[in-house]
Structure 1
């Protein structure tokens, strides 16, 4: 019996001798390709000559022609050539692309990435509330939620956690046995609610990290598990508020959020969160499963992996719902199926994204922030709302029972396009009486797809008695929207009725005017002239008509030029040009988050130049303040580094903050500014939200550096900050006051300007100290009182004061 090829018998001298001995079907070829790839992956242990031999093997395979054997069919080549490397060093585990791939992989590798979030690693927080996805099957009770079971399961799956990745050195560890739990599961600081104390506390939670995607991006994520884990049927408005509060408390730490939830009431939770999370600028995705992850055949893996991939790769600032390879707007979803994997649908709105070979995001439908406002979570909902579903023969008593006090709002589910029995005067009188009393009644159709209109007499009858149209909102969404608007008695019933007809979070369809395309403005003429010039040049140089651009190619060229013009307008403060570009895209979403070659968006460029009016225009039209360039910097970093005060203020109002990817650069800039006496730059970083007590190299703060360099103005500014900590110790255990006194001792008696500044710095630092203890002597601040509290009157120490500086002198040793 012939021995099949393996890594052990895959020898150098006869690398391909076995290829002619086996049936040349696709399965064998796949195995051989896998072994070749695996062999090359051990590149670090190979010698240089073996590397060169591998390069020769790769070239042989790329042009493989093998003789036919008597017992085999001709060897079939892959329809895609093996990817080529520029040098022998490209082989081995550091290679970014696999040696052998199919067309599906090729399509993904060549997918446009201009709409993806930049950066090597994204941080995602998963909030596990309960539901089928993390349940475990037990013999006694069937499927039950088990604490930590989901996290442990994900940690053991290579698709969800790469145990070989060392976060400290960004490399792969060859020996997993040598790794500690801290290395395999590094921690992230998260804020969770302590239910016993009813307050939020900061804890270190272990995290998992995904393998790199085809674009080289990893996702580090941590999981909060609610206690107890809830079946979605037990969800209440208090739980919705808790989820919103958890997102708010961790908003600046993470790039995106995923809520794992049971499917039964997931549509209600998604709708509620879309209203509770006000001015949202990051991705929030709800997902779950029909079959638990503990089962061999399930939909949990694909749903969670798909949600995690989208959350880590794209900035879609909405509350979404991901199920069965589709990303829906959360407040447009309904549960359509209780037994199939395609449990959810969005009947009145196309999916925001579909996951196949590619992830196709429908950016034209994505709702972006359109105001300059900081993110916050709304913390209250009105519970005095209900749903009334009409049915033939419904009695007046039934209707009145659902309209009595304390009810303040009702969703009336009607027939067809919003129709109700207009011959039932008793029902109409009951609705009119409730409406006059201040009850807000909203008309929603019982149909899964459709819109409420008053085209029929039966629909107009409801409008006459004060019932407002719910347009194409789902009943789930209309109910929580009503609870949101009626909370805290913020609005009068008339205002609530008006707001129920407005589109607040993309929950209803507003019929837009027919798109019109202008072809007369200067921007479009420039583009057309460039296209025409290119076409004429091609026509003059080459007679081959196949090289000419057709209409579709011209449109693609035009679209590719718009980002260039948009970035140019942002960099030159050309608001008129940007408005003209916006006019050209009327009826469509202008891609304001497009990127240049450095991953910089128009907002990055405008913030760098300090073009305040461009910044405001971009923010009011959906530009994201959380986008990062290829260096990991946000627009806020660029505004602070270039000292643009008004731009910083506007960005902070919109919810901008520094992220973990850039915080080291931010701290370096601030510490350098402190050491160089650049108070203005330091002020701008503090205004941008920098924690002034954050330490850098050698665990030294900005105050340490300012004191060490004798920068009096900088010290004065830092001490004026209310949150400054003067007791922080560096790696040698020294506080800023210790550095100041040491420097003053070196300059003692020189009577120059430097000594005067050092004396003032010491005085200022001492002025911030209430009590300092030296031995058995407790010295009260001399600037506040002349009293000294000496615990032992016979203590052999006495005090000398020089310009407010307290020096402890040992009388016995005369030191």
Structure 2
């Protein structure tokens, strides 16, 4: 028993119907710097449940087996994993991935939301390729595959299915979590990292060694940790979360079948370490280097394999393995890329390479890389074997399938690209030797500013005290100064269109610069540049890793700011980079949309449409659309602009049950009776609108 004077760990304070717990660990976490977090209060995370141990149930006959809806029902009983204010979320545990009538047809396609209910839009890709849209009453919306897959049975077709589901829901969610079995999780993480080109959002793959329903398990911590990271940070990579660490997916391997720390990334440090604090290693996080939209490549070549060398392996074994239709192979060699130097073995490899088979040399060791420092390694290279650097065997295999799928008839191109760093899967060797004592200018600018600010104080002190003052800064002081000055300097340069100053900051602070640092209002430099319409600054920021998906404290992306200020060129550039308006942003922009239609602001409306604003958006109270506003005010030119949009719906009705044609007929009658000509809409205008509507509907 603790002494009486020992403070309790948690003190519950009752406020209304809720309990608030004062906890030292929680208080410490709440007091840390949140500048790297996503600003909005609610993030939308799509959880895709493919199968695996995490959702299995133990049965006497078959042991642990996956059961439909078992995971969702289990999660609904744990308050931290569902919305406690929405009782309906328990009754609708999940959305099935396949087209079975029991799962999809039981959920009605959404036309209207129940007032006050928190719902998320989910798109499901059917087996015939069609996409259906549903509303699920859940903050974290699960998409369940049917049948649930054991990770040992995962195929390349399943990788394509996962990638397609993420692409279909890409604009609806801030982040994605894939629940997966552990046996082939590293393969799936590597494959998705290559398939998802120009990824700008967080994708986390996780699972567990012990099912969620067991008393002692790792499922709760893995899922909760993945949800926390996905909901708070924008890490635009395919990652793997396990054992309180977030790894780059294509750097991981499963190292244990019995430990909770089942995965490791031996050649690259973890991107995130989760403890009392959540520490993100931002210099390691990949950043975009060119402007392009998110795209999924679904062409994977299945004619690949992996061959692990062993002492005394025969040339006949190698020839049989390399026989057609094999087009790519990962050769797992000894040490730093060494293999037997027997002539018969090298001849077999050379013949296969000349035939067009791409052979990649990867080490069997957990840690290290393939080099040509030894004679045996050089002989493999002369036989046409490509060095795989420090790629894992799982990564090299999926990279081969990806590249051979894109260029199946160009082995030289595939060999060349296998040595390139595409998704952070390998370490690029520098041409010179590095020394720890080399000059580092990372905090040069910060030190100059801090020492300059200290000069006046030092001068005064020297007059009063005849002592030398220590002007050195600790590492902690430098980091604090960098965090304090970085957002101010970057946002100032972005707002004043100072491209040279921005370049100086980036070059001076090198890899430690964080172009996604936020100011007091949660805005990054890209927000500021987009609002001001500085095209060159926006382009520079995009090319140096600034995120188009980060939102400020109002929940708005840089694209939202560019639309508000009618910067058409900036909007076009952001859209080219894959920016889109979130569903909440479209609702925030709705009243501004109606105002622009009322005032006949054609330029703003066109910019909003170019940004991806929904031309069929309606207000939630009366259900009016933009076309309704244009008709009721007689804005013929605006009406034509809206009607020319390819997705406009001319057959919609408002909440009073009136269509656009009904409103035109009503206005015709009113025009004949209205005495005030200043507010009257001409019959000719109404008739022209009516003809245009009928032509569009036909």
Please report the TM-score for the alignment, with normalisation by the length of structure 2: 0.89
Q: CA deviation at 1:341?
A: 0.6
Match of 2:57 among 117, 136, 139: 136
Change over 3 Å in CA distance of 1:543–1:303 after alignment to 2: farther
Change over 3 Å in CA distance of 1:676–1:185 after alignment to 2: closer
Structure 1 unmatched ranges of 5 or more: 1-21, 45-92, 169-180, 208-219, 773-780, 782-815
Which residue in the other structure is 1:480 paired with? Answer: 398
Q: CA deviation at 1:165?
A: 6.4
Distance in 2 of aligned mates of 1:108 and 1:589: 24
Larger Rg: 1
- 2:630 pairs with 1:706: yes
Q: 1:419-456 CA distances to partner (integer Å, 9 max, x unpaired)?
A: 1122x001111111111111111110010100100011
Q: CA deviation at 1:492?
A: 1.5
Instruction: Write out aligned runs for 1:125-524 (5 A).
Output: 125-164=46-85, 186-195=118-127, 197-207=128-138, 220-422=139-341, 424-489=342-407, 492-512=410-430, 517-518=440-441
Match of 1:688 among 598, 601, 611: 611
Change over 3 Å in CA distance of 1:770–1:105 after alignment to 2: closer
SS of the residue corresponding to residue 327 of structure 1 reads strand
Distance in 1 of aligned mates of 2:439 and 2:351: 46
Which residue in the other structure is 2:538 paired with? Answer: 615
Change over 3 Å in CA distance of 1:573–1:262 after alignment to 2: same
Distance in 2 of aligned mates of 1:270 and 1:461: 32
Which residue in the other structure is 1:790 paired with? Answer: none
Change over 3 Å in CA distance of 1:231–1:315 after alignment to 2: same
Contact 1:281 1:375 in 2 (8 A): yes
Contact 1:258 1:285 in 2 (8 A): yes
Contact 2:267 2:390 in 1 (8 A): yes
Distance in 1 of aligned mates of 2:488 and 2:192: 36
Change over 3 Å in CA distance of 1:656–1:771 after alignment to 2: closer
Which residue in the other structure is 1:670 paired with? Answer: 593
Distance in 1 of aligned mates of 2:175 and 2:58: 31
Distance in 2 of aligned mates of 1:427 and 1:337: 33
Q: 1:493-550 CA distances to partner (integer Å, 9 max, x unpaired)?
A: 11111110010000001135767545999x6697256433465378479979999864
Contact 1:127 1:257 in 2 (8 A): yes
Q: CA deviation at 1:488?
A: 4.2
SS of the residue corresponding to residue 132 of structure 2 reads strand
Distance in 1 of aligned mates of 2:639 and 2:696: 20
Q: CA deviation at 1:621?
A: 1.2
SS of the residue corresponding to residue 127 of structure 1 reads strand
Distance in 1 of aligned mates of 2:307 and 2:361: 10
Contact 2:548 2:574 in 1 (8 A): yes
Contact 1:166 1:183 in 2 (8 A): no
Distance in 2 of aligned mates of 1:545 and 1:126: 62
Q: CA deviation at 1:225?
A: 1.0
Structure 2 unmatched ranges of 5 or more: 90-112
Which residue in the other structure is 1:768 paired with? Answer: 693
Q: 1:571-627 CA distances to partner (integer Å, 9 max, x unpaired)?
A: 1111111111111122x1420111111101111111101111111111111111110
> What is the total number of aligned residue pairs between the two structures?
666
Q: CA deviation at 1:768?
A: 2.6
Greater mean alpha carbon deviation, residues 634-643 or residues 652-661: 652-661
Contact 1:123 1:254 in 2 (8 A): yes
SS of the residue corresponding to residue 667 of structure 1 reads helix
Q: CA deviation at 1:490?
A: 5.9
SS of the residue corresponding to residue 695 of structure 1 reads coil
Q: 1:476-501 CA distances to partner (integer Å, 9 max, x unpaired)?
A: 00000000000043662111111100
Greater mean alpha carbon deviation, residues 734-743 or residues 226-235: 734-743
Please report the TM-score for the alignment, with normalisation by the length of structure 1: 0.77
Contact 1:371 1:620 in 2 (8 A): yes
- 2:687 pairs with 1:745: no
Distance in 2 of aligned mates of 1:693 and 1:395: 67
- 2:495 pairs with 1:571: yes
Instruction: Write out aligned runs for 1:656-667 (5 A).
Output: 656-667=579-590
Between 1 and 2, higher relative CO (CA 8 Å, sep ≥ 6) is seen in 2
Q: CA deviation at 1:765?
A: 2.7
SS of the residue corresponding to residue 120 of structure 1 reads coil
Distance in 2 of aligned mates of 1:129 and 1:634: 31
Match of 1:584 among 505, 508, 514: 508
CA RMSD, Structure 1 to Structure 2 (Å): 2.9
Which residue in the other structure is 1:717 paired with? Answer: 641
Contact 1:527 1:558 in 2 (8 A): no
Contact 1:263 1:290 in 2 (8 A): yes
Contact 1:164 1:184 in 2 (8 A): no
Change over 3 Å in CA distance of 1:711–1:199 after alignment to 2: closer
Distance in 1 of aligned mates of 2:460 and 2:693: 75
Contact 1:708 1:743 in 2 (8 A): yes
- 2:654 pairs with 1:730: yes
SS of the residue corresponding to residue 661 of structure 1 reads helix
Distance in 1 of aligned mates of 2:141 and 2:347: 55
Distance in 2 of aligned mates of 1:765 and 1:501: 62
Q: CA deviation at 1:140?
A: 1.7
